Amino acid sequence: MPRPSSDVQAFTAHATEADLDELRARLAAARLPEAETVRGAAPGPGRWAQGVPLDDLVEVVRYWRTEYDWRSFEARLDRIGQFRTTIDGLGIHFLHRRSPRADATPLLMTHGWPDSVARFTDVVEELAEPKDPDAPAFHVVAPSLPGFGHSDRPATTGWGTEKIAAAWVELMGRLGYDRFLAHGGDWGGNITTVLGGRFPDQVLGIHTTFAEGPPGLSTDGLNATERAWAEETRDFWKHRAAYAKQQAARPQTIGYSLVDSPVGLLAWILDKFAEWTDTEDSPFERIPMDRILDDVTLYWLTRTGASAARIYYESHNSLDPDLRVDVPTAITAYPRDVEKCPRPWAQERYRRIVRWNEPENGGHFAALEVPEYFVADLREGLAAVLDANR
């Protein structure tokens, strides 16, 4: 079994009681606006038409201040295993759970925004040490993106998805994993695509929930479902992507609110969990409130609201239109994700799709929404990828 190099150090994060007391004090002193003017709407998307409803936010803030247990999340991260290393002058934090299985394959898992390594904490153990001895096992590595969580906040421009992908290859090499699988969604899906396209000698294959075809493809030849996907994506970028345009154009401006106000940070992130999760009304139908607060509190305590937003400034619409992925690829399109790429478009970029799956349930945060299904689907996808390498 490979051993970490001397450049990799064990890491433990422990927020001070003063920081937690300050958070609770800020929550108690929060100034809230009046209720939305669609107040009283029936449960459903219409109730969220102007953003996070006041009643919902008040309840989450109350729970966050009086009941939420941050120490429990810290302990879960420590049980998985936390480490840091420095790559290109930037400290990178990552989770690393080695499997006890001799036949385990290294697996790099990359999160996106507005989540963090919190996305994967419920699935790492089962991927590394499955209860079923016939299921594939993985040495799981889940880095925090630059500017997210306990990774350093870049002080200069340049940390876009291409540089991050190269850093991940360096990271895996330091852990002794010269060949590995990669998975990602959201920005993690973009980075996973870059990994598969730029580093075929290191990447055995990829699984993504966020396939991206080349730009400018025609809808001619698409079936009715695929045309609907294309139309939904256009609608998303036209009417529901103001957050992305703000963070791509002026991340510093919104960053002041995200770092100074825990309620502002909560609302900014909760809005996306609500809209992008496969639910009828509230994200808490699928994702426990504690899991969302794990993520939001991690942003708050590490003061990374602004630095995380800057990934949009660095990389929005930057995926190389000519990049092609020739390593074996498994793609899962969850029904309530914000972007679903029609298979004919995906095939223009991913040249060896060995498994394509369209589940009946799940959204953008599948590892949190449907963790058992997510694990089973990821296993099947990566098994197909490994079979294609034989």
CA distance 289 to 189: 25
- Indicate whether 58 belongs to any domain: yes
Comparing C-alpha atoms, which of 325, 330, 360 is closest to residue 210? 330
CA distance 382 to 355: 9
pLDDT at 185: 97
- Indicate whether 45 belongs to any domain: yes
With bands split at pLDDT 50, 70 and 90, how would you rate the model's confidence at 247? very high
Report whether pLDDT(5) > 70: no
Q: Where does residue 106 rank: exposed (0-12), middle (13-18), buried (19+ CB within 10 A)? A: buried
Residues in the chain: 390
Look up the CATH number of the domain holding residue 46: 3.40.50.1820
pLDDT at 6: 66
CA distance 319 to 328: 19
| Domain of residue 291, residue span | 9-389
How many beta carbons lie within 10 A of that of residue 218, not counting itself? 9
Report whether pLDDT(256) > 50: yes
| Segment 164-173, tens digit of pLDDT | 999 999 999 9
- Indicate whether 181 belongs to any domain: yes
Average pLDDT over residues 13-20: 96
CA distance 336 to 320: 26
- Indicate whether 341 belongs to any domain: yes
Q: Give me 368's structure tokens.
A: 């949190």
| Segment 133-161, tens digit of pLDDT | 999 999 999 999 999 999 999 999 999 99
- Give Cα 104 to chain centroid, integer Å: 23
CA distance 299 to 109: 19
CA distance 127 to 107: 9
CA distance 339 to 332: 12
Say whether 203 sits in a helix, a strand or coil: strand
Q: What is the DSSP letter of 325?
A: B
Average pLDDT, the chain: 96
Average pLDDT over residues 59-83: 98
| Segment 275-322, tens digit of pLDDT | 999 999 999 999 999 999 999 999 999 999 999 999 999 999 999 999
CA distance 303 to 305: 6
Report whether pLDDT(225) > 70: yes
Q: Percent of the chain beyond pLDDT 70?
A: 98
CA distance 318 to 310: 13
Q: Where does residue 31 rank: exposed (0-12), middle (13-18), buried (19+ CB within 10 A)? A: exposed
- Indicate whether 35 belongs to any domain: yes
pLDDT at 296: 98
- Bridge-based pairing of strands 90-97 and 138-143 is antiparallel
Looking at residue 204, its amino acid is L
- Indicate whether 3 belongs to any domain: no
Q: Enumerate the β-bridge partners of residue 138.
A: 105
Average pLDDT over residues 344-359: 98
Q: Give me 45's structure tokens.
A: 């998307």
CA distance 266 to 296: 6
With bands split at pLDDT 50, 70 and 90, how would you rate the model's confidence at 41? confident
With bands split at pLDDT 50, 70 and 90, how would you rate the model's confidence at 42? confident
Cβ–Cβ < 8 Å for 332, 381: yes
Average pLDDT over residues 62-66: 98
pTM of the model: 0.97
Report whether pLDDT(45) > 90: no
Comparing C-alpha atoms, which of 368, 321, 51 is closest to residue 186? 368
Q: Give me 106's structure tokens.
A: 């290294």
Cβ–Cβ < 8 Å for 82, 10: yes
Residue in this structure with the two tokens 């459903």, named with its chain if needed: 44
Comparing C-alpha atoms, which of 151, 172, 188, 153 is closest to residue 315? 188
- Indicate whether 30 belongs to any domain: yes
Report whether pLDDT(1) > 50: no
- Indicate whether 4 belongs to any domain: no
CA distance 348 to 217: 9
Q: How far is CA 354 from CA 327, 328, 351, in A?
A: 10, 6, 9
Comparing C-alpha atoms, which of 312, 204, 196 is closest to residue 254? 312
Which ranges in the chain belong to alpha helices (H)?
17-28, 54-66, 70-80, 124-128, 161-174, 187-198, 224-239, 242-249, 251-260, 262-276, 289-302, 305-315, 343-349, 366-369, 371-389
Q: How many domains does the chain have?
A: 1
How many beta carbons lie within 10 A of that of residue 289, not counting itself? 17
Element (H, E) at 90: strand 90-97
